[in-house]
Amino acid sequence: MLSIDNLHASVEDKSILNGISLDVKAGEVHAIMGPNGSGKSTLSAVIAGNENYEVSEGAILLNGEDIGELDAESRAHKGIFLSFQYPVEIPGVTVTNFIKTAINASRKAQGLDEMPAKEMLKKIREKATLLEIDSRFLSRSLNQGFSGGEKKRNEIFQMAMLEPKLAILDETDSGLDIDALRIVANGVNKLRNENNAIVVITHYQRLLDYIVPDFVHVLHEGKIVKSGTKELAMELEEKGYDWIKKGA
Amino acid sequence: MQLEEKLMSSFVAFESEVDTLAPVHDVREKALKSFEKLGFPTKKNEEWKYTPLNSLLKEDFHIFSKHDNTVEFKDVKQYFIHDIDTYKIVFVDGVYNSFLSETTHEGADICLLSAALAHSKYQKNITDYFHKIASKNDAFTSLNTAFAKEGAYIHIPEKKILEKPIQIIHFSTGNDTALMLQPRNLIIVGKQAEVQIIERHQSLSNQKVFTNSVTEIFADQRAQVDYYKIQNDQEEASLIDNTYIRQEKESNAKVHTFSFGGKLTRNNLNFYHNDEHIESTLKGITIIENKQLVDHHTLVHHASPNCESHQDYKGIYADTSTGVFNGKVIVEKEAQKTNAFQQNNNILIDDKATINSKPQLEIFADDVKCSHGCTIGQLDEDALFYLRTRGIPKKEAKALLTYAFANNVLESVQIPSVKSRINKIIATKLGVDLGFDV
């Protein structure tokens, strides 16, 4: 599904990713952990196509296709989704209208007609139920005045609607209380299948109790310094990141 | 200055068309003298520093239309808010068009200024209100007053809540090359009366047209005035709009100005408070491109205690367009407990676009809440990236963010048809289908 080879990226001449290689197969969940400043969010931004980062070396392949030169919207059309740590507020555009716009933009890019209103409505209802979102929420302005939990739930709702091949969840657990965390994680788990893949980016192990990864990678100074299974996450929780930093 | 001389010498011809014995004619003559003394403002005038008039005033405008001009409804339908029932006062090249209009004298007077000036039954209102708050020291207002003879006359009597909005539309056909229009509106809203008005100036060709409009609005005790100015004119159309509003106790007046096009658009919007517990709202969205210029000069004169004013202007400037915002708030010594808020936010889409934003607060009372804020920036890159990761292409993403930026001005629009019309114009301006009905 996703194959990253020796990826180097920088922002304003400051090198942040220093040779990352990662293979994510369909049906897998990978967790990327690491201390603050290790490059976790940069990695997700670069995969999603943020133009603020300069990729100086390496390649990002999605199902064998090099997507390194594509803009963010084209990557989205190919099935990449990024759940933001800090989703953006858009006054005057409701959650429903926003998701309609997003879905139809993707369909248009793929040469499809707009999704019929009835079908759209049915899908919205179905996915809203999955994430325990009530209909009033859907007619609010996107992210405006949302609590931390509502913002993250809304991100996963968008993921559910857009049905990406590869979803990157950037610090989805930050700002969530335990109930919200449970709802969000349940939603993600229900969206998992053998045709998609999920990359969970997190500082803490907590989220991984709910979204259980197949593989865990530890990022430090822009490199993956250790990879393992879910037990690695628990070890990190116990020992903290100093252990990794010293070993690196 | 040619136009100035031409105007002065045209006055004699103008006098042959009006009743020179009417008391109003004294007002005209005084205004002409005032204009002669003042002359057109130059760049040296602080109020016109950023809005150069040279190229506009050097045109050889016709002062009177030479043609008997008519237009077909089907050709101009798009400029009306046509999905709801409204009263209509329509002018073509400055001449009233009864075919396109829908006026009334039942329950309220929604008709023509020329009729109000001519008939004795309106004499009292003319004496009491005509040219009572319009400036005596402003060249364009004086000029308009000197030539005042036609426009909308609206009188909503006490406790009358007008059931449908009024549209005032001025078309110019372009049959005369370079035409100057000077409409004059008088709007009197009685105690506890309510009215909604939509005003539009629309050129139907690429000919040059220069409109110098004056509107006086009187909102009596507890009256509600909800006024919308839709400015989306052709590239060669210029407008100087002078609007004066006097409010009495507990009245509420709102003016929304939507400026999306025209060569030069200057809005002089002036609110005067005459008693306590008055609320005034001034809001605007400006989205312009090419070499267009839109200038908002606002004044709120707080003269009594316990009044509020809210100003919120959003501007989006592309290419080499220019925006001016000059928001003046005067709080007199007597006007304690005033709440006056002013906000002006701007986005410059291109490097060569300009905005000159100037808040002017003159506060003489000590127990007041007054605030002003001004921002100038670009669209938020992070927000743009967010939208693009959802598959929304850059152009549409920019449009959505621009729409969101201007949105809270739209929130206070009370007429849904006006709101959806403005949304459509914004979508067209931004070159996108916003993809949903708002």
DSSP A188-233: HHHH--TT-EEEEEESSSGGGGTS--SEEEEEETTEEEEEE-HHHH
Q: Which of B383, B396, B435 comes nearest A88 by C-beta?
A: B383
- Chain B 403-432, CB below 8 Å of chain A: which residues? 403-404, 407-408, 410-411
Domain A2-247 classification at class level: alpha beta
Task: Tell me the H-state helices in A26-175.
Answer: 40-48, 72-77, 95-109, 117-130, 135-138, 148-162
**Inside any domain, residue B361:** yes
What gap in Å lies between CA B198 and CA B195, rounded to an integer? 10
Residues in chain B within 8 Å Cβ distance of A90: 383, 387, 400-401, 404
Answer with the residue of higher pLDDT: B66 or B11: B11
Answer with the residue of higher pLDDT: A1 or B433: A1
Task: Check CB contact under 8 Å for B391 and A102.
Answer: yes
Spatial CA neighbour of A219 closest among A27, A24, A35 = A35
What gap in Å lies between CA A74 and CA A48, rounded to an integer? 10
CA nearest A85 in B: which residue? B386
CA nearest A110 in B: which residue? B391
What is the pTM assigned to this prediction? 0.87
Q: Is the pLDDT of residue B437 over 70?
A: no
Contact status of B401 with chain A (Cβ, < 8 Å): yes
Task: Check CB contact under 8 Å for B392 and A92.
Answer: no
Q: Which of A82, A86, A90 comes nearest B404 by C-beta?
A: A90
Residues in chain A within 8 Å Cβ distance of B387: 88, 90
Phi, psi of B139 (to 5 degrees): -60, -45
Burial B23-41 (b: 16+ CB within 10 A, else e): ebeebbeebbebbbebebb
Contact status of B399 with chain A (Cβ, < 8 Å): no
Q: How confident is the model at residue B434 (pLDDT cuts 50, 70, 90)?
A: low
What is the per-residue DSSP string for B243-295?
EEEEE-TT-EEEEEEEEEE-SEEEEEEEEEE-SSS-EEEEEEEEEE-TT-EEE
**Inside any domain, residue B434:** no
Residues in chain B within 8 Å Cβ distance of A98: 390
SS3 A137: helix
Q: Is the pLDDT of residue B116 over 90?
A: yes
CA–CA min distance B377, chain A (Å) = 17
Q: Which of A52, A91, A158 comes nearest B390 by C-beta?
A: A158
Residues in chain A within 8 Å Cβ distance of B401: 90
Task: Check CB contact under 8 Å for A105 and B386.
Answer: no
Q: Is the pLDDT of residue A13 over 90?
A: no
- Domain range for B71: 2-429
Task: Check CB contact under 8 Å for A71 and B438.
Answer: no
C-alpha dihedral sign at B129, B132, B133, B138: positive
- The tokens 């006098």 sit on which residue? B15
> What is the predicted pLDDT for the residue at A96?
92
Question: Which residues fall within 8 angstroms of residue A162, CB to CB, at 6 or more apart?
Answer: A76, A81, A99, A102, A103, A106, B390, B391
Question: What integer best gives the mean pLDDT of chain B?
Answer: 94
Residues in chain A within 8 Å Cβ distance of B394: 71, 73
> What is the predicted pLDDT for the residue at B406?
87
Strand partners, B34: none
Contact status of B216 with chain A (Cβ, < 8 Å): no
Size of interface A-B (CB pairs under 8 A): 87
Task: Give whole-number Cα distances, B41 to A66, B46, B209, B294, in Å.
Answer: 62, 9, 19, 17
Q: How many helices (H) and strands (E) does chain B have?
A: 10, 20
- The tokens 């959806």 sit on which residue? B420
When pLDDT is averaged across residues B302-331 and rounded to a whole number, the result is 97
> What is the predicted pLDDT for the residue at A176?
85
Could you report the per-residue pLDDT of B12-21, keeping only the tens digit for each?
Answer: 999 988 888 8
Task: Check CB contact under 8 Å for A77 and B391.
Answer: yes
> What is the predicted pLDDT for the residue at B438?
41
Phi, psi of B357 (to 5 degrees): -120, 130
Question: What integer best gives the mean pLDDT of chain A?
Answer: 91
Task: Check CB contact under 8 Å for A50 and B390.
Answer: no
What spatial distance separates the first Cα and last Cα of chain B, rounded to whole Å?
49
Q: Which of B381, B391, B438 comes nearest A105 by C-beta?
A: B391
Could you report the per-residue pLDDT of B35-47, keeping only the tens digit for each?
Answer: 999 999 998 999 9
Spatial CA neighbour of A72 closest among B397, B347, B435 = B397
Could you report the per-residue pLDDT of B383-423, keeping only the tens digit for each?
Answer: 999 999 999 999 889 888 888 888 889 989 999 999 989 98
When pLDDT is averaged across residues B80-106 and rounded to a whole number, the result is 95
Residues in chain B within 8 Å Cβ distance of A104: 435
Contact status of B395 with chain A (Cβ, < 8 Å): no
Domain ranges of chain A: 2-247
Q: Which of B391, B407, B438 comes nearest A73 by C-beta?
A: B391
Residues in chain B within 8 Å Cβ distance of A72: 385, 388-389
> What is the predicted pLDDT for the residue at B229?
98
% of chain B exceeding 70 in pLDDT = 98
**Inside any domain, residue B284:** yes
Task: Check CB contact under 8 Å for B396 and A101.
Answer: yes
Q: Is the pLDDT of residue A246 over 50?
A: yes
Task: Give whole-number Cα distances, B270 to B11, B209, B346, in Å.
Answer: 28, 24, 22
Q: How confident is the model at residue A248 (pLDDT cuts 50, 70, 90)?
A: low
Task: Give whole-number Cα distances, B313 to A148, B215, B338, B432, in Å.
Answer: 30, 21, 20, 23
**Inside any domain, residue B48:** yes
What gap in Å lies between CA B251 and CA B158, rounded to an integer? 13
CA–CA min distance A192, chain B (Å) = 19
Which token pair is B229?
Answer: 């100015």
Q: How confident is the model at residue B433 (pLDDT cuts 50, 70, 90)?
A: low
Spatial CA neighbour of B146 closest among B2, B53, B38 = B38
Q: Which of B389, B390, B408 comes nearest A91 by C-beta?
A: B408
Question: Which residues fall within 8 angstroms of residue B245, CB to CB, at 6 or more apart?
Answer: B133, B216, B217, B218, B219, B225, B253, B255, B269, B270, B271, B272, B280
**Inside any domain, residue B304:** yes
**Inside any domain, residue B438:** no
Residues in chain B within 8 Å Cβ distance of A77: 391
What gap in Å lies between CA A4 and CA B388, rounded to an integer? 22
Residues in chain A within 8 Å Cβ distance of B434: 101
Burial B244-274 (b: 16+ CB within 10 A, else e): bbbbbbbbbbbbbbbbbbbbbbbbbbbbbbb
CA nearest B385 in A: which residue? A50
When pLDDT is averaged across residues B288-305 and rounded to a whole number, the result is 97
Could you report the per-residue pLDDT of B118-173, keeping only the tens digit for each?
Answer: 999 999 999 999 999 999 999 999 999 999 999 999 999 999 999 999 999 999 99
> What is the predicted pLDDT for the residue at B121?
94
Q: How many domains does chain B have?
A: 1
Which token pair is B288?
Answer: 């312009």
Q: Is-contact B145 B31, C-beta < 8 A?
A: yes
**Inside any domain, residue B369:** yes
Q: Chain A: which residues have CB within 8 Å of chain B?
A: 45, 48-52, 71-73, 75-77, 80-82, 84, 86-88, 90-93, 97-98, 100-106, 109, 158, 162
Spatial CA neighbour of A131 closest among A204, A181, A97 = A181
Task: Check CB contact under 8 Å for A101 and B435.
Answer: yes
Half-sphere exposure (CA, 13 Å, Cβ side) for B191?
Answer: 2
CA A167 and chain centroid, separation? 5
